[in-house]
Amino acid sequence: AQSVTQLDSQVPVFEEAPVELRCNYSSSVSVYLFWYVQYPNQGLQLLLKYLSGSTLVESINGFEAEFNKSQTSFHLRKPSVHISDTAEYFCAVSGVGNTDKLIFGTGTRLQVFP
Amino acid sequence: ETGVTQTPRHLVMGMTNKKSLKCEQHLGHNAMYWYKQSAKKPLELMFVYNFKEQTENNSVPSRFSPECPNSSHLFLHLHTLQPEDSALYLCASSQVPNTEAFFGQGTRLTVV
């Protein structure tokens, strides 16, 4: 079985500052890793994913995450945030070939201030 | 329409009512899911339908009853709910075994 820990429930940051949202996972098998974003009154949208290959994955809006197997982490980073990045961010894990068993973290609320 | 569509977006119901939530996916996926999202809690996977067969029921109370008539439609039938069942109910679909889940916008349920 897998589990996910998001250590920070809230992350306040000023606009144009860098941000890191932390995610650690545990699993006895190889994993797929995902970051989802949820805007107010919306469902979850996939931000980026790691399935295999390069350990650094990027989204179209400037976020990136790096799969670190030795540290069992998949932290999300952005070098310069915008007001529009204010949202809830969820890290999720599944076993390889078991994407019907997706386990989510508790979420991190990113609040960007002007 | 594209993606995953949920109706209604908002629902207020009394504890003695019976209502149903509807989900439709237009992605050709082979699995559909119901999740419950409550404040300050992780998303809870309620039901999984994989190839139209229910494969997982994470100890969900019987007042929640899922129905999957085909691979594109998923329902959640609700009856005699409790106030603590108030939450955002999210539907999702994926192409098992290797793609991520795509979510609908959710139904905000309030039980009074």
How confident is the model over B24-38, as pLDDT tens digits?
999 999 999 999 999
Give chain B's residues under pLDDT 70.
1-2
d(CA A40, CA A49): 22
The reply to whether B34 touches chain A by the CB within 8 Å rule is: no
Q: Which residues of B touch A46 (CB under 8 A)?
A: 100-102
Shortest Cα–Cα distance, B42 to chain A (Å): 4
pLDDT above 70: residue A89: yes
Helix (H, G, I), strand (E, B) or coil at B72: coil
Q: Which residues of A touch B42 (CB under 8 A)?
A: 4, 104-107
> A100 vs B50: CB contact, 8 Å cut-off?
yes
The one-character DSSP state at A84 is G
